[in-house]
Amino acid sequence: MNKLSKYTFGALLLSMVTLPAFAEETVAHATGGAGADLGFAAAITIGIAALGGAIGQGLTASAAMTGISRNPGAQGKMFVPMIIGLALIESLVIYALVIAFQLVGKI
């Protein structure tokens, strides 16, 4: 599967997840039952954030291990930027968790 088809598949999958959520908004306001929609949004938010964070951390660690195995002398130069990158990735996941908590708090 080439890059273009991966991006196309990702965009299609993302639109399949988000478009029904926008369509449900008017139904939720008409019936007064927005609680289930916000709970679903919170679950999707933290799920996508955890998936993206796990992929990002895996790629970061993989690249660092590959670089260290090819050049063991550069371990000291790679370690600190790798740890900073992992911390920034984790902070984005924690930020998504805070957003999910705020969404659940509105129920």
Give the architecture (CATH level 2) of 34-107: Up-down Bundle (1.20)
Residue 50's identity, in one-letter code, is: A
Task: Specify the higher pLDDT residue, 105 or 6.
Answer: 105
The per-residue pLDDT of the chain, averaged, comes to 77
Domain assignments of the chain as residue spans, ordered by start: 1-33, 34-107
First to last CA, the chain: 41
pLDDT of 70 = 92
pLDDT digits (tens, 9 = 90+) for 34-71: 566 777 878 888 888 888 888 889 999 999 999 989 99
Full 3-state SS string of 26-70: HHHHHHCCCHHHHHHHHHHHHHHHHHHHHHHHHHHHHHHHHHHHH
pLDDT band at 26 (very low <50, low <70, confident <90, very high): low
Task: Specify the higher pLDDT residue, 21 or 54.
Answer: 54
